[in-house]
Structure 1
Amino acid sequence: MAEFNEALLKQATELPAVVRMGTSSWKYPGWKGGLYRREYRSKRDFEQRCLEEYGAHPWFRAVGLDATFYAPPRSASLDRYAAQLPAHIQWVSKVWERITIPRFARQPRYGELAGKLNPDYLDAGLFRSSFLAPYDRPGVRERTGPFVLQFQRQGRSGRELAEFLERLDAFLGALPGGFRYATEVRTAELLCADYFAVLNRHGATHCFNHWTHMPPLIEQMRAAAAAGGLQADFYVSRLLTPLQLSYAEAVARFEPYDVLQQPQTQMRRDVVRLASRAIAREAEAFILVNNRLEGNAPATIAAIGQMIVGAAQANS
């Protein structure tokens, strides 16, 4: 893979220390021959051990744990990840959907809960007891980066938005300290002063997300700035799909994720701007890239990383 030639890998060492880039999950056979060069005995062997090879890549300082959206992690899984990754890599975990969705979709995987209201929506007690506990252990806590609370698109009326912010305020206020929290909202109307005030009140941050129905990253950054800025000492960005392209369309376009296909020029510039802001503030920036953004997340990271290095050197 041309993106990972020796000169480019060496340039990764020049990436400012506060910038933590990584991919959303890592078990993709399409990365074999590029990111992954080892021989694996089977699909299971690959999925169990490829994280070690991921962790050796110089551009990566973070990794996204997306599976935790569907079920809380087992302690044994986190221990295995910690054993495979070097100490400088932190994981960014999506919070269990049982805590972040107000109603279960009518999908078979929800069984008898399908279509019903979720009684555990924004339940801080459940978060502490069923989700956070495996992370709050020596050897694991040190590897733990921000938790991302991914919220569905929701009603856009003033009443609905106000009710959500009231519940979010109470939820964040009940969470334990010592961990970092980011909220990924997918309703553009929530990018208002009241939303950013809730985050600042609790030391949380907005997850700048590049996703189907959200405005460009630069508009999200401007909304935060217009509200007085984010006060948290870290940033989170998840780069998921091209704007106006659905998840299913992105899968059909980019599978098997073995090659970069569709560079998102404006998105890349916006990420550099966000990273530059983090560098100026000496605040960590966690930037997670999905295969469904441009076709091959590792190649996207290498390209954006080069741009961040160039901008940092120009500003030094």
Structure 2
Amino acid sequence: MPERDPSQLDLFTGAPSPTPPRVRRRGHEAPIGPAEQPEEVRALGEQLPPGLFLGTSSWTFPGWEGKGLVYDRKATPARLSREGLAAYAQHPVLRTVGVDRTFYAPVSAATFAEYAAQVPAGFRFLVKAHEACTLARWPVHQRYGDLRGQLNERFLDAAYARDLVVAPFVEGLGEKAGPLVFQLPPQDPQDLGGVGPFVERLHAFFSALPRGPLYAVELRNESLLTEALAQALEEVGVCPVLAAWKNMPPVERQAVRMRALQAPALVVRWMLPPHLDYEEARRRYFPFDKLVEEDVRTREAVARASVAALRASKPVFVTLNNKAEGSAPLSAVLLARSVMLRIRNIGTVDS
């Protein structure tokens, strides 16, 4: 498979992009600004604890235009990928954002620095590590060319992760670096070498990475959520990601099983409702400008875990997908309200 220039990859699909993600405008086109927010949302943002980082899985959705959403005007995804981040970061509640581009190919420290320059000091980025680190076998997909179906020699290769993933992440983002998430897609446990050997290999992988960054691991195979894995992650100080996703247990069960509140931080990715797959949710919820189906159970479970972590003086990072309830920014506001209600009524919080 020919090597591609990471700076020319689309932010979310990995497809070639005509321009790198720099802030640039054509002619006299007015810059994208933040949407007007209701007074109660502005007040809510001012009340949130400094260790609570709520955000969305990305920032390039044209449907987020209008009062109470994110942007003050319509714009294409391409333009939002170049210019939208600064406006996104002015939302009163949104203090983090997911960077998925890095899952498809590593990016340079300079690219990370461009992102960091567009957001305030208290903002943090949740970055996904390159999939070469987390795929035991390359998927049978046209995108992988001649590597399709082959075992991946870079799987859990600490040297590769250190040089091409961790180093630019640390250098480019600096203090604005949040969790670096190693997401393992669903895969055949046999390709992983079996549950026991996989846990040992994962422990060795994180033990070999540089100390300092906040590492997190997200698993999409329920069979891997074992006591041995929880212990291994605890030993190396790595956060288990609570993944709200169709084929995984509810987040409250994941939190208990993986000892999430013992980790250095609470990391949650709320992606899908329990009854829908990705494509069905996308069709039902597009263009992501309103809440369609509220998932109160998941919201309250995330709020309980968040408050428990905050009470233990641990930072909380939660990213929400449009496919969770219909509109990620609106979901973030409702989650923030739930967290604040529990903080005010602290006697009812499950610790």
Q: Fold conserved (TM > 0.5)?
A: yes
Letter in 2 for 1:187: N
Cα pair 2:63 2:289 within 8 Å, conserved: yes
How far residue 77 of structure 1 moved from its aligned partner, in angstroms, is 2.0
Structure scoring higher RCO (CA < 8 A, sep ≥ 6) equals: 1
Q: Distance in 1 between matches of 2:104 and 2:275?
A: 25
- Hey, what's the Cα distance between the residues in 1 that align with 2:75 and 2:318? 32
Instruction: Say whether 1:82 aligns with 2:113.
Output: no
**How far apart are the structure 1 equivalents of 2:219 and 2:75?**
41
> Is the deviation greater in 71-80 or in 258-267?
71-80
Matched, 1:13 2:46: yes
Hey, what's the Cα distance between the residues in 2 that align with 1:75 and 1:170? 26
1:210 alignment partner in structure 2: 244
Q: CA deviation at 1:222?
A: 2.3
- The match for 2:288 is 257
Which residue of the partner structure matches residue 289 of structure 1? 320
| Cα distance per residue 1:115-139 (max 9 Å; x no partner) | 11111000010011111221232x6
TM-score by length of 1: 0.93
What is the aligned partner in structure 1 of residue 276 from structure 2? 245
Aligned residues: 311
Question: Secondary structure of the equivalent of 2:63?
Answer: helix
Quote the offset at 1:224 in angstroms.
3.1
> Which structure has the highest helix share of the two?
1
Query: Which region of structure 1 is more displaced relative to structure 2, 200-209 or 40-49?
Result: 40-49
Aligned-partner residue type, residue 178 of structure 1: G
3-state SS of paired residue (2:329): helix
Secondary structure of the 2:231 match is helix
Distance 1:46 1:193 in 2: 42
Give me the whole-angstrom Cα distance separating, in 2, the residues matched to 1:127 and 1:159.
20
Contact 2:128–2:183, Cα closer than 8 Å, also in 1: yes
Partner of 2:31: none
Q: Which amino acid aligns with 1:204?
A: V
Residues 251 and 133 (structure 1), Cα distance of their counterparts in 2 relative to 1, 3 Å cut: same
Stretches of structure 1 that go unaligned for 5 or more consecutive residues are none
Q: Is residue 178 from structure 1 mapped to residue 209 from structure 2 by the alignment? A: no
Query: 1:149 matched to which residue of 2?
Result: 182
In structure 1, how many angstroms separate the alpha carbons of the residues matched to 2:70 and 2:41?
A: 16
The offset of 1:156, in angstroms, is 5.6
Q: Would you say the 8 A contact 1:196–1:230 is kept in 2?
A: no
Contact 1:40/1:46 (<8 A) preserved: no
1:213–1:244 contact (8 Å) kept in structure 2: no
Q: Secondary structure at the match of 2:345?
A: helix
Deviations 1:154-197 (A, max 9, x none): 34689711121121011011111010111101122222210111
With normalisation by structure 2, the TM-score equals 0.84
For the pair 1:51 / 2:85, whether they are aligned, the reply is yes
Aligned to 2:9: none
Percent identity between the two aligned chains: 34
Deviation at 1:98, TM superposition (A): 0.7
Q: CA deviation at 1:39?
A: 4.4
RMSD of aligned residue pairs (Cα, Å): 2.1
State whether residues 130 and 165 of structure 2, in contact with CA within 8 Å, keep that contact through their aligned partners in structure 1: yes
Correspondence for 2:94: 60
- Relative to structure 1, the CA distance from residue 196 to residue 230 in structure 2 (aligned partners, 3 Å threshold; closer, same or farther) is farther
Is 1:167 the counterpart of 2:198? The answer is: no
**Using a 3 Å threshold, how does the CA distance of structure 1 residues 166 and 244 change in structure 2: closer, same or farther?**
farther
